[in-house]
Amino acid sequence: MKKGSLACVGTGMMLGAHIGPRARSHIEQADVVFVAVSDALVELWVQGMNHDVRSLQPYYAEGKPRSDTYREMVAAMMEEVRAGRRVCGAFYGHPGVFAVVPHRAVAQARDEGYEAVMEAAVSAEDCLYADLGIDPGTFGCQHYEASQFMFYKRRIDPSAYLILWQIGVAGDRTLARFETGAQFRNLLIELLAEQGCPSDHEVIAYEAATLPIAKPRIERMLLSALPGVRLELSTTLVIPPFRSLERNHAMLNRLASLQASGA
């Protein structure tokens, strides 16, 4: 194994509340820490754990394709790994959930023969279940990135929750925008209507709280109102089931027969 290593960790969603001991240890023991978090206060907090903390935020720019930003972030981290240093990438939420850079960096480091790990963390999905009182085991959940949901032919289950991530940039094909407008959202509503979701169905715009003094955004509205609502990069659209569960009587009968036979 070559000298030099990479650990990509998550700080969780809320400042100081969600970080695990393994993630903290990686940050504290690293030679250099690259940080991409949700709030300047969170970045300052990470800086208090290590003497060499470098922000990845300057790589973002209006009109700059995010694909270029991600490539540059990975390159910056790998440069330090190749120099033989213990590198930690600290990312808000879970480093493997809607996070391109950690996955690419870990894969590249391993391909080049360096030790690389990813530590699990509290994600926005975890907060969503707690804040909205949703148990994914009750009706089931379908999760899609909003633009991917629009770009590809998907068949949704109307009796389960539909969770659309990054709804604020739904339909963006450039990877250079930080928001898309009402016309894009109208196309999404049309797409949902094709699969039976009525425009008067109640949906939820959700954003996890990132500071202890803040509250999560839980804004309920009719689906038809979505084009006029403020949406951020961090906004998730939650669409509750719009059709009841349908029992599979044929399967239930077969299962009953197996049970009766002692199988």
End-to-end CA gap in the chain: 51
Respond yes or no: is residue 60 known to be catalytic: no
Mean pLDDT over 198-220 rounds to 96
Mean pLDDT over 198-216 rounds to 95
Q: Is the confidence at residue 1, as pLDDT, over 80? A: no
Respond yes or no: is residue 152 known to be catalytic: no
Please identify which of the residues 22, 54, 60, 66 carries the catalytic annotation.
66
pLDDT band at 62 (very low <50, low <70, confident <90, very high): confident
Q: Is the confidence at residue 263, as pLDDT, over 80? A: no
- Residue 176: the pLDDT is 76
Q: Enumerate residues 6+ apart whose C-beta is below 8 A from 105.
A: 6, 8, 73, 74, 77, 78, 89, 116
DSSP 228-255: GS---TT-EEEE--SS-----HHHHHHH
- Residue 229: the pLDDT is 96
- Residue 2: the pLDDT is 81
Respond yes or no: is residue 206 known to be catalytic: no
Tell me what the pLDDT averaged over the chain comes to: 95
* Entry field: residues in the chain: 263
Q: Is the confidence at residue 159, as pLDDT, over 80? A: yes
Q: Is the confidence at residue 228, as pLDDT, over 80? A: yes
Mean pLDDT over 202-211 rounds to 96
- Residue 122: the pLDDT is 96
Mean pLDDT over 41-62 rounds to 94
pLDDT band at 47 (very low <50, low <70, confident <90, very high): very high
- What is the Cα–Cα distance from 26 to 50, expressed in whole angstroms? 10
pLDDT band at 160 (very low <50, low <70, confident <90, very high): very high
Please identify which of the residues 59, 86, 92, 177 carries the catalytic annotation.
92
- What is the Cα–Cα distance from 32 to 110, expressed in whole angstroms? 19
Please identify which of the residues 59, 70, 114, 161 carries the catalytic annotation.
70
- What is the Cα–Cα distance from 27 to 21, expressed in whole angstroms? 10
- What is the Cα–Cα distance from 24 to 22, expressed in whole angstroms? 5
- Residue 39: the pLDDT is 82
- What is the Cα–Cα distance from 238 to 43, expressed in whole angstroms? 29
* 5-39 confidence digits (pLDDT tens): 999 999 999 988 999 999 999 999 999 999 999 88
- Residue 158: the pLDDT is 97
Q: Is the confidence at residue 148, as pLDDT, over 90? A: yes
* 76-114 confidence digits (pLDDT tens): 999 999 999 999 999 999 999 999 999 999 999 999 999
pLDDT band at 258 (very low <50, low <70, confident <90, very high): very high
- Residue 244: the pLDDT is 96
